Each structure stands twice: as C-alpha cells, then as structure tokens.
Structure 1
Amino acid sequence: MATPKILIIDDEKHMCWALEKAMRQEGYIAISASNGMDGLKKIKDEMPSLVILDLKMPGMDGMQVLKKAREINPRLPVIILTAHGTIDTAIEAMKMGAVDYVTKPFDLVELNIMIKQHLAVTQLQTEVNFLRSELAKKYGNIIGQSTAIREVIQIIEQVAKTSATVLITGESGTGKEVAALSIHHNSPRCEAPFVPVNCAALPEQLLESELFGHEKGAFTGASSRKPGRFELANGGTIFLDEIAEMPPNMQAKLLRILQEKTFERVGGTETLRVDVRVIAATNRDLRQLIREGLFREDLFYRLNVVQIHLPPLRERREDIPLLVEHFIQKFGTAYKVNSISPEAMSLLEQYDWPGNVRELQNIVERASIICRGHEIQPEHLPSEIQRIHTQKRGIIIRFPDQGLSMEQLEKELIVKALEKSGGNQTKAAKLLGISRSAFLYRSQKHGIF
C-alpha cells in the first residue's frame, strides 16, 4: 500500500511546519499550503490521502476551501482545525462533508489517532470499491447487496459451470440480459459468442430466418445463403429474450433443437448440428400461457431446467443507493455530476419503480444532464418522484371550520400523527418531518405525554 500523503492548509507558517514534522515522524508524506487557492491546487495535483484544514484564513476561508475540495474529490477526508470560538462553524463544516475537527490548541496524540482512524476508513472504502468493481467484472453489472440479489449471484455462479438450459424470469427492466451475460462470461463458453435474440421484435418468418438461417432463393429477397443465430452461437450461448412472444410454429422448431441439437436452414435440406447453450427470458407467466394454450408445455419443461427469478427493484430497495452510485459514476465523466443529495436519494428509495433498474438508470442519467452543479437534487428528478414526499406524508389533519391558534394546531398535528403511526413516536416524528427529540419536546410541552 502506498504511503499516505497528508496536506496541511494553514496560513500560519509555524503551524504548517510543526504539523509537517509531526506527520513525517508518523511515517506519512507531508506537504503544506499557506492559503486556500494553493491548497486547492495541491489537492488537484498531489492527490493527498487526507487534508488538515484551518477554518480561519484570509482571502478564501476554510469553508470555501472545503466546498471546492468536495467538488474536486467528494471522498477526500478533511479534518478541520478551529479555535474554541468557532466550534459551531466547525460543526457546520462537518455537515458540508468534513470528517472531523480539532480545536486549537490541540493534543497531537489525539490528532494522530484521528488521522489513523480516517485513513483506515478511506482504505476500507477503497477496498470495498475494488471488490465491487471486481464483482461487477465477474458478474456483469449485477449490483446489489440484498438477500435476493446475493441469491441470484449464487445461482449464477453454480449454473455457469454447467451447460444447463436456463429460464430467467422477472419484470421488464430487472436486468435479465445482464444475468444471461453473467452466466455466459463465467462459463467455459466465455471465449465463444454470446448471441442475443429478441423474439418479440421479429415477425414469424423473419424470426425463423434469424434463428436458423436461410438458403439462397428460400424466399423473396433471399439473394444469398445466410447463417442463423444458432450457427453464429455455435460453441457459445444464445439468449432468447421475450420467449413468451414466440409463435407456436417456432416453439415446435425450438423444441427440436433443444432435444436433438439439430435444425435445417429455411429453404434447405441439410441437417446442421450445433453445440449451443440456450438461455431464455420472459416477463410473463408461462404457466398461465400454457393453460391458455399459447405456450407449449413440453417446451416450458425443456427451458425450465434451471430458473432464475430477478426480483423487482421495489422488493430490494436497499440496493438503490448502490445502483445510483454506479450510474452516477457511469455518467459522471460526461455530465460532471459526482454525488446525490440525501433528500434526492430518499425520494428514489421511496419510489416504486415500475420500470425497475432500467428506469432508475434513465432517471439518474436525465438528472445528471439537467443538473448544473455536481450534486443531484430533488428538483432534478421527475415530478412524479418529487411528489412522493407529499403523497407519503398525506394530509393528517382536516381543518375545522373554526379558527385554531398555532399552539392548538401544533398539538392537533402531534395527536393526529400519533394516531396515524399507531402510537409510534419515531414514525410520528417522521410524518411531521421533525426529529424524534423535537417531537418529544413538543409533545411534553402540550402535555400529551
């Protein structure tokens, strides 16, 4: 691991000298800057591991430097140096992203412990990000830590080693093709082609030609022999998306290739044999389609050797922050966005996502485009998501005809919130948009409990 580099930004030269000496004694690389502009330049050029920043400096003060530093590197840990009289400002700086603060005169041992703790956290975050990126390489872009997604990844890991046919189910936008790619990339067939086919996008005659190829003159416009997708996928994997939309005649031909591994091109007589793994996907209930006579039962059992169900995003909301972070990183270079506000993230976590992960990706990209700063805010989200807060909270009180004083109104709101939350104080406070301690204070003030 590289030796951590500590940057000290302070207009007092003796303070910079003393801290540089102390940092070198601890085994760190130490550099300093005597003003905010020079400090920001060194953050860009030197890429320090941690910054010690004095709040009170002439010209550009510490708060301004902190704001600019966060724009340059949102993950850079910044420890604030402050005098006793400006502790409130230091706390405000922590709200802006500083990791800690010490008051002058400070205990050097305490500062060293603080630095080690925050460097350890940064190192841990770096390792976690590395492991996530490695996991993404290994399993495509399946991102998440929820139980449901961990189970999906475990099944993929097991089935990838085999040549078993796989049926992937799940709503539109849940990432069925990503899962199919993950199976292929982690299988012995990974060096061979992965060939996707959308069964709903092609009419029956064209679909047959696409899958099995055709001979010259097989139909009008067939001016030359064309290999089909099964031929192109030989040795690898073919992914049949929207398999439920495949016409009955084509279902019979697909059944044959699954059973015998053989087929003929359209207009041809030569029987061709291929070694292809089949992965199919659908967002529909195939068993219901079987009952309606729209899907062959024997084909279903041939496809359903291993089934992987991808849960909708609303059933794994704990994965939303990870997905948002991934998409921000994906679009960040193009649109200069590197973070999202807690308020905007909260709205995304509450939304039901009918379009699932695909919809989330589109919304993050849209927000990145219209965001003029570096952080996505609630106003950058679509109106249907911005309205969630109001809808969730609802109207908890109906105003009576007679007027109420502010005191009476506050008490009435607290009582209604308690009723709506079933007496749960934390939930009632959340309904009113205040902290639990503020809720308790107001409740006691009105003699509610």
Structure 2
Amino acid sequence: MTVEQSGKRRVLIIDDEDIIRDSVSTYLEDSGFTVDQAGDGEEGLARFDAHPPDVVLLDLRMPRMDGLEVLEAIAGQLDRVPVIVVTGAGVLQDAVAALRLGAFDYVTKPIVDMAVLEHAVNRALEHTRLLEENRRHQAHLEDEIRSRTQDLHARTEELLAANAELKKEMAIREKTAAALKQSEARLTEIVSIFEGFIYTCDAGFRLDFVNRKLADHVGADVAGRICHLALYGLAEPCPWCRHSDVFVGQTAHTEFYNEKDGRWYDAVQAPVFGGEGQVRNLQAVVLDITDRKATEDWLRQREAQLAEKARRLKSNMRTASRFGNIIGKSRPMQTVYENILKAAESNAHVIIYGESGTGKEMVAKTIHDLSDRGSRDFVTVHCGAIPDNLIESEFFGYRKGAFTGADQDKSGYLEAADGGTLFMDEVGELNLSMQVKLLRAIEGGGYTPIGSSSVRQADIRIVAATHRNLRSSVASGRFRRDFYYRIHVLPIHLPPLRSRKADIPLLVNHFVSDFPHGDRLPVIPQRIIAAMQRYDWPGNVRELQNTVHRYITLGEIDFLDLPQTSDDNIDEAATESARLPSIPCNQPLSDAISAFEKDYIARLLKENQWHRSRVAELLGIDRRTLFRKIKTHGL
C-alpha cells in the first residue's frame, strides 16, 4: 500500500525506549503516517482514548503496565484497531500470549529493517479495511434480506387477505389459508374439493388451470382454451373482467350475472406473481351467489314493506284514538307513540319517566310486543317492593341448600327474562350494591346464582321505569353514574293526565266500555266528563279509571266541583230531558222529529266542542251521515 493510499493513517507507538520510538516514528512519518508516542502502558491507554489510532505498535516489556495488560484493556476494540506487538527475540512466548489476546501480528527487536515493520503496519491496516468492508457488506446484505423478507411477508399477507375475502362463505376457509402457506400441491388438493369455481389464465386470456368443479360445470376440461369463450360463451373478454388491473398487481372484486346459465356469481381476481415479482397469471375464484341474491332481494322487499308499514302506522297515529292498549290522541301522546316505535325498532335499553299512574308498564309492554323480542317473555319486577336481603336471590336465583329454607333450585328474574324483556319498575329504588351486579350482568360479565359456582349469561333487554329524577339521584350519590348511562339510552317521558286533558273523554269511554255492564252500557253525562276535565288528577290515569268505576257503581263523585240540583231525588234522566228544548205540538211528526234531531245534534256538538268523530260515535252513526245531517239542518 502506498503512502497516498494510507491517507495519513494514525499510528500509536507505545514503547519505553525513546530511541526505538523516535526511529520508528521518523521512518513512519517519512512514509506518510501520522505518529503518536507513549512512553508506557498507562500513557498509551490515555492517548488511545484521547485520539483513537488506526494501528498500535505495542512493546510487551514496559514498567508500571506491560503490553499484555494494555491488550486486555483495549480487547473490545481490537476488531477496529489492530495491534502489532514488538518483543525481543528471546521472549517469543510473550508474543504468542499477545496473539492469543487478540494482537494482529508481532515483530522482534531489534528492528533491523524498518520496511518489514511498515509492511506489517500496512498489512494490519488492510486487514482492518477488509473487516470494515465485510461488516458493511454484511449489514447491507442483512438490510437487503430484511427488506425482501418484509416485501415477501407483505405479499403473502395480501394474498392471504384476498383469499380470506374470497372464501368468507366457506366453512373450510382456515384450512385453505393454511394450505396456501404450505405448498402449491396442498393448494391443489383443497381446490379440488372447493364448492366454487377456480381458474387461472395468462396475459393472453388462455386458461392454464381449472378446478374440477368448474370443469364439471362447463362439461369439459377447458385448460389451454380462451377463458371468456370456454367459460362464458363470449367472443370478447367479459365486461366484468378486470384482467388489465390484475396484471399490474391489483386485486379486483366483482359481482356479475352469467347469461349462459342464468345465475349470479361473486368473483375475486388476484395476481399470481412469478419468481422475480412480476405478475405471471390471473387467478379467479368464483362463487355462485344466486341464493344469496334472492335472499337479499327478499330482504330489501321486506325492508320496504316494513318501512311502508311503519309509515302508515305513524300516519294513522295522528288520527287514531289509541295505540295498542294505550288510549289518547293528544299531541303529547303522539310523541310518546313515536318514541315507542323507535324503541321497538331498536334493541337498546329504555327508561320510561312518568308520574305514578301514567301507564309506564303498559308502554313497556307495548315496546316489548312490537320488538323482535315480542314472542319471548316479558318479566315485570317492582324494585321498590323487594327487601334488600332478598333482592339478589330474586334477580339471580339460587340453588338448593344455598341458605336455610332453600329446599329447591329457584330461577331468578334474569333467567326468566332470557331472550326477552325485563321491565324494572321504580328502578330508582335499587340499592347501589345491586346496581353494580346488574351492570356487570348486562355488560356481558354474567351473574352467579346464590349457592352456585358457575357464571351464567342472560340475553335481556332492560326497560326501566321511574317517577324519580335520576339525574338528581346520580348527583347526590344515590344512583350509580355508570348504571344510569347504561340504562338511559332511549328515554321516554310520559305526560301526566293534567297535560293531556283532551284525552279524558276517550279514556272515560274506554273505561265505561271495559266495565262489566251486562246488556246495558252505562252512560256518564257530559257535564260529569266536563267536570273531570277541570280536575288535575294527581293519581293520573289510574285515578281516573277508579273514579269512573266508582261513578258507575255508586253514581257519585265526591271530589269534583259539580252544580247541584234543588232536589236530590230528581231522576237524572228527567233532569237531562228538562234540558232539551220544547217542541210545538201542532206540527206533523216528521217536522217534530227533524226539529228534535237538529236541536239534539246541535247540543252534542256544543258539549263536545264540535268534535265530529266523537259526536258521530255517541249518535251511533258514521261521520259521513253526521256531516250530511249538519248540512241539512244548517248547523
């Protein structure tokens, strides 16, 4: 190696003999090296650390710290900085020990020919250069292998993902995916039992493989023929084919209708790569989805029918006087009906707010009946009526022998409502401990019956009800925030009866019709109904029902502000008759009847605030007939 090639390499000479250091330093500097000197091992280590050299000339016999100790100190750096030991001819065993410690070479004293020393230095530097190049080359190879391995892994993942998507309707998907990793032979074996069609073709549309299922379908082994002609009977490439995209490395997913056999297919076309990464073939996996298409069409039609049914139901709610067993057509109740429909279409938990007697349980039952769970059990739990020491056994059940008196297994509310709806009335009365356990059960953690060690799961929908303000209960710590948000998904607020007094006549009529009456339907005078509409009904619908039944039974209502007659013994029918207008007695019967009809219809219209449907119902005629009579009499 020339001086120019050495590029001013730094040489550190560690020797306790000044004359040797100076002579070697002079020669090496003349040869183009930069030389640093140290008189003993300790100084040499200091200079080594301060200015790392490219090569070290190390004397083995030195005071304080000899050459072998220096070698041990820099042993971790010998692969980067070679060491040439200098020793006397009579102590070659020291040189051997130094070589074992990692020294690159040795020369013997006295150094007669400095060229030999220079040659050893250049050879050490060349060795280091080769080692460094080898390390860089090895690192480059490792990076290249790592990069190609990542590319290969990415391509493998892409192929696995494509095949997983292709075979999502196959029960043997996992087996197929595993087989693809193992070998092409294993893939061929699985392809032979695949229920769909698999084929590969080249860039010229020529088939080079078809699976047995496809060969049986077309009636022949069509390998070697043009794919669109052999498989689909088309002279030109199929309009749905993504041949050009696949041969640039893309995967395509298509659904198409094959006019040749009149069936629908789902096709995935993916590239098959060659050894150098180029796309060698197109691989297609085709599944017959005719039945699925028919099911999808049926579901779309069913969805449209249900949407139309819901639309008609919502439209009818605006004019109907009842919704299931719920009576009322006021604006607040129309809002309740709409919320009931929304809740019935969902499987989320519902909470119903309302005062006592507003019909919370009836609303909950209507939601259950209209939902997908309507065919399963509707289980009612009155949370405020269960003692704290029994509440866990009531909800979760218990096993025989769990406690004194448990002489047989007993199912709890959660097991009874499994698959159906659990109506929790007055949920605000639940204690905090039970809220935690119920929260765990409905969030999938399950529950354990008392006396059992097995965890059970319950598929339940909770419809809760309360007259309390649960937000205030959460703020005061009487109700858990996490349980509140778990059940407060679809809130429904029931209006009190005082907020929908227009529904009172409908409710009274319903309670009268529902009351056992034999052959004669009881009649509640309009003045009584009007008085009922002036009352605020703190007990709401339940109080109204009890009042109607009491009036039918006893003929009195003690809390309504009604005008009193001068004689309590006067017959009600006579009183009502006295209120009818007098009719002259000197006219034909038809005129008298017409006059009475006019006055009677006018009075009913006035008493019912011109509610024509209600008046028609009271008269026992249809609305059209009533309208005709109103027009005839000029009302």
In which range does the TM-score fall when normalised by the shorter chain? 0.5 to 0.7
Residue in structure 2 matched with residue 288 of structure 1 by the alignment: 472
2:517 corresponds, among 333, 340, 343, to: 333
Shift of 1:304: 0.4
Please give the secondary structure, in 2, of the residue aligned with 1:362: helix
Please give the secondary structure, in 2, of the residue aligned with 1:268: coil
Aligned mates of 1:285, 1:253 — CA distance in 2: 22
Aligned mates of 1:334, 1:311 — CA distance in 2: 34
Aligned mates of 1:140, 1:229 — CA distance in 2: 26
Q: Matches of residues 34-433 of structure 1 in structure 2 within 5 Å?
A: 139-260=323-444, 262-333=446-517, 336-371=520-555, 380-381=556-557, 383-385=558-560, 387=561
Q: Residue type of the partner of 2:446? A: T
- Residues 305-334 of structure 1: CA distance to partner in whole angstroms, max 9, x if unpaired? 000000100001111111111000000525
- Residues 178-217 of structure 1: CA distance to partner in whole angstroms, max 9, x if unpaired? 0000000101111100000000001112121111111112
Aligned mates of 1:256, 1:329 — CA distance in 2: 46
Percent identity, aligned pairs only? 44
Change in 2 beyond 3 A, CA 1:343/1:250:
same
Which one is further off, 206-215 or 351-360? 206-215
Which one is further off, 181-190 or 215-224? 215-224
- Residues 53-83 of structure 1: CA distance to partner in whole angstroms, max 9, x if unpaired? xxxxxxxxxxxxxxxxxxxxxxxxxxxxxxx
Aligned mates of 2:387, 2:488 — CA distance in 1: 25
Change in 2 beyond 3 A, CA 1:242/1:388:
farther
Shift of 1:231: 0.5
Q: Residue type of the partner of 2:337? A: I
Shift of 1:337: 4.2
Shift of 1:347: 0.8
Shift of 1:149: 0.4
Give structure 2 stretches of 5+ with no counterpart: 1-315, 565-635
When normalised by structure 2's length, the TM-score is 0.38
Shift of 1:140: 3.7
Aligned mates of 1:261, 1:328 — CA distance in 2: 49
- Residues 30-61 of structure 1: CA distance to partner in whole angstroms, max 9, x if unpaired? xxxxxxxxxxxxxxxxxxxxxxxxxxxxxxxx
Give structure 1 stretches of 5+ with no counterpart: 1-130, 372-379, 391-449
Change in 2 beyond 3 A, CA 1:388/1:207:
farther
1:264–1:271 contact (8 Å) kept in structure 2: yes
- Residues 122-142 of structure 1: CA distance to partner in whole angstroms, max 9, x if unpaired? xxxxxxxxx89x9789x4421
Q: Residue type of the partner of 2:399? A: E
2:442–2:460 contact (8 Å) kept in structure 1: no
1:241–1:282 contact (8 Å) kept in structure 2: yes
Change in 2 beyond 3 A, CA 1:207/1:334:
farther
RMSD: 2.1
Report the number of matched residues.
Answer: 248
Aligned mates of 1:144, 1:181 — CA distance in 2: 17
Change in 2 beyond 3 A, CA 1:261/1:231:
farther
Shift of 1:290: 1.2
Aligned mates of 1:334, 1:171 — CA distance in 2: 34
Residue in structure 1 matched with residue 37 of structure 2 by the alignment: none
Please give the secondary structure, in 1, of the residue aligned with 2:447: strand
Please give the secondary structure, in 2, of the residue aligned with 1:204: coil
Q: Residue type of the partner of 1:165? A: H
Which one is further off, 236-245 or 217-226? 217-226
- Residues 249-284 of structure 1: CA distance to partner in whole angstroms, max 9, x if unpaired? 111111112211611112221111111111000000
Aligned mates of 1:300, 1:334 — CA distance in 2: 48
Aligned mates of 2:394, 2:403 — CA distance in 1: 13
Change in 2 beyond 3 A, CA 1:262/1:340:
same
Please give the secondary structure, in 2, of the residue aligned with 1:333: coil
Aligned mates of 2:520, 2:431 — CA distance in 1: 46
Q: Residue type of the partner of 1:384? A: F
Please give the secondary structure, in 2, of the residue aligned with 1:272: coil
- The higher-RCO structure (CA 8 Å, 6+ apart) is 1
1:140–1:179 contact (8 Å) kept in structure 2: no
Q: Matches of residues 15-34 of structure 1 in structure 2 within 5 Å?
A: none
* Greater radius of gyration (CA): 2
Shift of 1:146: 0.7
When normalised by structure 1's length, the TM-score is 0.53
- Residues 282-310 of structure 1: CA distance to partner in whole angstroms, max 9, x if unpaired? 00011111122111011110010000000
